[in-house]
Amino acid sequence: MNLSKIMWLPIIIVLSCGFLTGKEAGLDLWTLEDKAEDAEMEIPEREILLVERRFNRAWGYQDCGYFIDTQGCVYSFDFSSSPICVLEDGRTATFQERLQEIMRTTEEEPVFDEEFVRQISLLGANLSAEDEFAEKHARCDYGQDTLYFYRAETQELLKCKSIGDIDYTPKNPSAAKIAELLEDYINNLRRQPPELE
């Protein structure tokens, strides 16, 4: 496993800044998994799974981050210098379409394993665009670092957590658990000895 793919990920900073953990949210992972496993779930062969997006307009324009696909591969993006992308048919590409284009044109090796993808997919099935968040004004001119689950069927980005000028702490325990699992996985990768070339 190539740890250099992980070392730059900003999610560690994002998730360590006062987010609610699964335990603090009263989350019982086993109960959530039992409920989720009752439903049949097909994980897309290759689709966006999670997106970590840094967005700021306070000091210039910043729109960058990374995303993970359903094969466990990690891709980076930086749209800071090109906020608008016009497609061949004249349409302006959506954020999701731009990420999908990166995924189509970039070869990456898996970093996250199948079990991680399965757990995130099961928990993501419990998220909704109507999910509520506790909001707290925390900073000025910081922008936002937001973690999203991507629902392929509807092409929705569903917010899991966000810190920045306003901290958004999820009330949905599945959203909190997604962020917790991601943080734990990355921390475990960072503890592994580097591979020898």
pLDDT in tens, 158-191: 999 999 999 999 999 999 999 999 999 999 988 8
Predicted pLDDT of residue 78: 95
Q: Identify the CA nearest to 171 among candidates 28, 33, 35, 27.
A: 27
- Phi (first) and psi of residue 111, to 5 degrees: -115, -35
Please give the span between the terminal C-alpha atoms of the chain, in angstroms, as a whole number: 12
What's the rounded Cα separation, in Å, for the pair 172 and 185? Answer: 21
Q: Give how far Cα 181 sits from Cα of 25, 89, 103, 117, 120, Å.
A: 14, 40, 23, 10, 8
Least reliable range by pLDDT among 3-7, 9-13, 167-171, 172-176: 9-13
Predicted pLDDT of residue 151: 96
Give this prediction's pTM. Answer: 0.77
170 touches 176 (CB < 8 A): yes
Partner residues linked to 146 by β-bridges = 53, 162
**Tens digits of residue pLDDT in 96-133:** 999 999 999 999 999 999 999 999 999 999 999 999 99
The beta-strand segments (E) located in the chain are 48-56, 62-69, 74-78, 133-137, 144-151, 156-164, 166-170
Give Cβ neighbours of residue 80 (< 8 Å, ≥ 6 apart): 60, 61, 62, 63, 64
